Amino acid sequence: MKDIEYNEKKGYFGEFGGRYAPEILTSALIELEEVYKKFKNNKKFNDKLNYYLKNYVGRPSPITYAERLSKEWGCNVYLKREDLNHTGAHKINNTIGQALLALEMGKKRIIAETGAGQHGVATATVGAMFNIETVIYMGNEDLRRQELNAIRMKMLGANLIGVSSGTATLKDATSEAMRDWALNVSHTHYIVGSAIGPHPFPTIVRDFQSIIGIESRKQFKKLTNKLPSAVVACVGGGSNAIGMFYGFIKDKDVRLIGVEAGGRGNLPGEHSATISQGKIGYLHGTKTLIIQDEQGQIVPAHSISAGLDYPGVGPEHAYLASIGRVEYVSVSDSEALEAFKELCRLEGIIPALETAHAFYYGKKLAKELGKNKNLIICLSGRGDKDVSEVKRLLGDNL
Ligand SMILES: *Cc1c(COP(=O)(O)O)cnc(C)c1O
């Protein structure tokens, strides 16, 4: 394992990251970078952020010792309960932070892309609470899979725009949001929802999500007087994972494992396992690993979970994989469904399908670690949004 060396001033993580954005966006990205630099360690800003995280989101989210899973899997399993945040996932940690930055920049309008709809709901929520005009882009395929979240966004007063280009999923919604931003940049802030995009987004999103890992480390130490053997999180663009891992990144004895979506198999178009199967390229303004063909054309991703269905990954993950600090594995659609059912039955928690990927691998890892070892799984979100899709897939076999 190599030592971690960041060059965050330029927005690079090793060779990954950077700012490969059209000229029209460069000034907005520099403005955001400057504002963030100014407020990152500003007491008043952080007091405000912490006020909302505590009194609106409900932080700190608990760590739950999963008694039945631990017994069944033969290892102590702890769950970091991001599903208990207001709006039901980790996304709101980032949208509150970025909405506060937008207000500091005097921007009157926020836009966002969304896959599973969780980031869209979290953005629509802060748009309502802070009284900022909100526009959300969502692929039409995802609108079908995630109808509940689409309705929620509209109820919250956001203007929801369906995207039909490409595969009509997250990549296409992101491209459309970037186009909107380029046209309206003077009065609009683009709240990127994962640790992706041009610098400074991957750093900003990671910092706002790092509360997951910082709290987890503190809570776990208080409970057990130890550090866990391993920490597991699912990886779409990589925001819940990087937020979780960041709290433990310097603890070299703690294994960190990111779980990607293996979809229906290894063939191109059948999965979203960017780190295991991707190659270096450029997507949405950043240099990272991307699922692409021989000509460098992006190959559509697939996952049962809309939130993991993205052909790129945050550049910091590409870097952490390259130096061997984080292990990345993949879990298939059917394995995720199996874990989904198991978590419902054994712990009384209906997880998001994204999260279910982390659980399937958690089970494998628990068997490998064995008794008296401790494992934390990031329970990134709850599964209400997925119940009709799971019912469609499983029929009466729930
Ligand atoms: C959006 C989402 C993910 C995937 O996004 P990351 O940026 O990789 O965290 C995972 N879990 C849930 C519940 C989500 O809503």
Residuewise pLDDT in 10s, the chain (398 residues): 666 766 666 799 999 999 999 999 999 999 999 999 999 999 999 999 999 999 999 999 999 999 999 999 999 999 999 999 999 999 999 999 999 999 999 999 999 999 989 999 999 999 999 999 999 999 998 998 889 999 999 999 999 999 999 989 999 999 999 999 999 999 999 999 999 999 999 999 999 999 999 999 999 999 999 999 999 999 999 999 999 999 999 999 999 999 999 999 999 999 999 999 999 999 999 999 999 999 999 999 999 998 999 999 999 999 999 999 999 999 999 999 999 999 999 999 999 999 999 999 999 999 999 999 999 999 999 999 999 999 999 998 88
Task: Return the H-helix or E-strand segment holding 224.
Answer: helix 211-224
pLDDT at 9: 64
CA 7, CA 131: separation in Å to the nearest integer?
36
Which CATH number describes the domain made up of 20-52+91-198? 3.40.50.1100
Cβ atoms within 10 Å of 378's Cβ, excluding its own: 27
170 CA from centroid of ligand 1 (Å)? 12
pLDDT at 398: 87
Three-class SS state of 343 = helix
Q: Where are the domain boundaries for CATH 3.40.50.1100 in the chain?
A: 20-52+91-198, 58-88+206-394
Q: Are strands 133-139 and 159-163 parallel, antiparallel or unpaired?
A: parallel
CA 21, CA 201: separation in Å to the nearest integer?
12
Residue 194 in contact with ligand 1 by CB distance below 6 A: yes
Residue with tokens 């990251």: 17
CA 59, CA 86: separation in Å to the nearest integer?
9
Answer whether 28's CB lies under 8 Å from 51's CB. no
Residue 235 in contact with ligand 1 by CB distance below 6 A: yes
Per the residue annotation, which of 33, 82, 113, 347 is the catalytic one?
A: 113
Among candidate residues 343, 329, 295, the one with its CA nearest the CA of residue 64: 343
CA 117, CA 40: separation in Å to the nearest integer?
28
Residue 99 corresponds to which tokens in the numbers above?
């909405």
Q: The pTM is what?
A: 0.97
CA 365, CA 359: separation in Å to the nearest integer?
10
CA 216, CA 64: separation in Å to the nearest integer?
11
CA 319, CA 195: separation in Å to the nearest integer?
13
pLDDT at 68: 98
Residue 237 in contact with ligand 1 by CB distance below 6 A: yes
202 CA from centroid of ligand 1 (Å)? 14
Based on the residue annotation, tell me whether 91 is a catalytic residue of this protein: yes
* C-alpha R_g of the chain: 19
pLDDT at 144: 87
Answer whether 245's CB lies under 8 Å from 378's CB. no
Based on the residue annotation, tell me whether 113 is a catalytic residue of this protein: yes
Burial class (CB in 10 A: 0-12, 13-18, 19+), 267: exposed
Which residues have C-beta within 8 Å of that of residue 216, sequence separation ≥ 6?
Answer: 63, 80, 231, 244, 247, 248, 376, 378
Residue 313 corresponds to which tokens in the numbers above?
């990954």
Among candidate residues 245, 257, 235, the one with its CA nearest the CA of residue 366: 257
| Nearest residue (CA) to ligand 1, atom 1 | 307
Cβ atoms within 10 Å of 26's Cβ, excluding its own: 13
pLDDT at 145: 81
Answer whether 178's CB lies under 8 Å from 190's CB. yes
Residue 355 in contact with ligand 1 by CB distance below 6 A: yes
Per the residue annotation, which of 91, 107, 171, 287 is the catalytic one?
A: 91
Based on the residue annotation, tell me whether 391 is a catalytic residue of this protein: no
Residue 163 corresponds to which tokens in the numbers above?
């995207």
Domain 58-88+206-394 has what CATH class?
Answer: alpha beta
Among candidate residues 256, 250, 240, the one with its CA nearest the CA of residue 354: 240
pLDDT at 266: 92
Residue 6 corresponds to which tokens in the numbers above?
């960041």
pLDDT at 2: 66
Answer whether 132's CB lies under 8 Å from 110's CB. yes
